[in-house]
């Protein structure tokens, strides 16, 4: 990854932060985005061990098209180019479908589905104009193709992002050599998802029992897979979704 330029949206915590850390350790230049500069600066303290010039902080909201365009401009201005985009920013909370307000639905769809499209389109246009064979990595969830009881907004949005991944893989792969892939993480420790979705002891235990490997995944494991997917070692991988969930989604029958 030496010298490669990578944007990671939602990079102030959890998987985004650990991916950024790993990419920096591999010699990449990384731009992380987040909605709050204070949180971005706190993340910088946790991510960098010295090479501060290689990390760019961008305060923006993926729901805002003007912010997204500025994200592209700022990154190119700071690092000279963009090689990869990791669409990691997400929003989620548990709500029964019948109780979810239209604002709650719209908010998650806007961050996850619309935000992923705005970022992909803006960076994709830059790649097409500059003849760069970049790659996109989208973070989805196994409920993008399975069921997501209690998170109908997130499941619907992630299903859309998976369709977007495969569509861009074909459309931009064929014409411009741009790759698009996805990771479907299961429950991962030290992430906003785990904190929010498994906040009660009972929910945490139920989750743990559902994973054949009997533990949560780590953000370092996600970062290792992301590094591989973005690297030249995966240069023939396009339109793929790789599950990293300890076998959780396959575990349907008690044994
Ligand atoms: C019911 C809720 C709610 C909750 C928000 N809402 N939280 N409804 N239960 N817990 C409703 C609000 O009442 C409001 O509707 C509407 O959603 C919008 O809320 P806001 O707070 O105004 O929205 P906003 O400030 O835009 O925040 C977006 C957010 C927030 C998604 C609600 O939680 C957020 O920004 N989250 C980002 C971080 C995050 O969620 N990370 C986890 C990602 S995990 P009304 O009708 O009252 O106006 C993930 C995958 C997990 O994505 C996979 C696990 C295996």
**Residue 30 near residue 56 (C-beta atoms within 8 A):** yes
Task: Give the pLDDT score at 52.
Answer: 64
Protein residue with its CA nearest to atom 18 in ligand 1: 104
What is the mean pLDDT of each successive set of 10 residues along the chain, which is 255 residues long?
Answer: 96 98 96 98 87 88 98 98 98 96 98 98 98 98 96 98 98 98 96 80 88 96 98 98 97 82
Which of 12, 103, 146 to mutate to test ligand 1, by most ligand atoms within 8 A of the CB atom? 103
Which of 63, 93, 162 to mutate to test ligand 1, by most ligand atoms within 8 A of the CB atom? 93
Task: Give the pLDDT score at 200.
Answer: 83
Q: What is the ipTM of this complex?
A: 0.94
**Catalytic choice (18, 118, 126, 143):** 143
Distance of CA 53 to the CA centre of its chain: 23
**Residue 237 near residue 173 (C-beta atoms within 8 A):** no
Determine the Cα angle at 179 with ends 136 and 127, to 5°: 70
Ligand 1 site: residues with CB under 6 angstroms? Answer: 90-93, 95, 101, 103-104, 107-108, 141, 154, 186-187, 192-193, 196-197
**Please, which contacts does 128-133 make with residues 24 or more away whose CB atoms are closer than 8 Å?**
128/172, 128/176, 128/178, 130/81, 131/176, 132/81, 132/82, 132/83, 133/176, 133/177, 133/178, 133/179
| Annotation says 236 is catalytic | no
Task: Give the pLDDT score at 79.
Answer: 98
Q: What is the pTM of this model?
A: 0.96
């Amino acid at each position: 990854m030496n010298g490669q330029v990578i944007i990671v949206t939602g990079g102030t915590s959890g998987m985004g932060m650990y991916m950024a850390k790993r990419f920096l350790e591999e010699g990449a230049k990384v731009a992380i985005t987040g909605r709050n500069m204070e949180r971005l600066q706190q993340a910088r303290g946790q991510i960098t061990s010295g090479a501060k010039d290689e990390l760019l902080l961008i305060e923006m909201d993926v729901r805002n098209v003007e912010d997204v365009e500025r994200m592209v401009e700022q990154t190119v201005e700071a690092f000279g180019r963009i090689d990869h985009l990791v669409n990691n920013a997400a929003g989620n909370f548990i709500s029964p479908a019948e109780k979810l307000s239209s604002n709650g639905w719209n908010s998650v769809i806007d961050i996850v589905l619309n935000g992923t499209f705005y970022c992909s389109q803006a960076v994709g246009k830059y790649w097409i104009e500059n003849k760069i064979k970049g790659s996109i990595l989208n973070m989805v969830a196994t409920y993008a193709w399975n069921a997501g009881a209690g998170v109908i907004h997130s499941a619907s949005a992630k299903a859309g992002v998976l369709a977007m991944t495969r569509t861009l893989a074909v459309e931009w792969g064929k014409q411009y050599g741009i790759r698009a892939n996805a990771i479907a993480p299961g429950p991962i420790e030290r992430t906003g998802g785990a904190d929010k979705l498994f906040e009660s002891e009972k929910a945490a235990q139920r989750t743990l029992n559902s994973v054949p490997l009997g533990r949560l995944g780590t953000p370092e494991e996600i970062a290792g897979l992301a590094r591989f997917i973005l690297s030249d070692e995966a240069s023939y991988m396009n339109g793929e979704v790789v599950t990293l969930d300890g076998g959780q989604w396959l575990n349907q029958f008690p044994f």
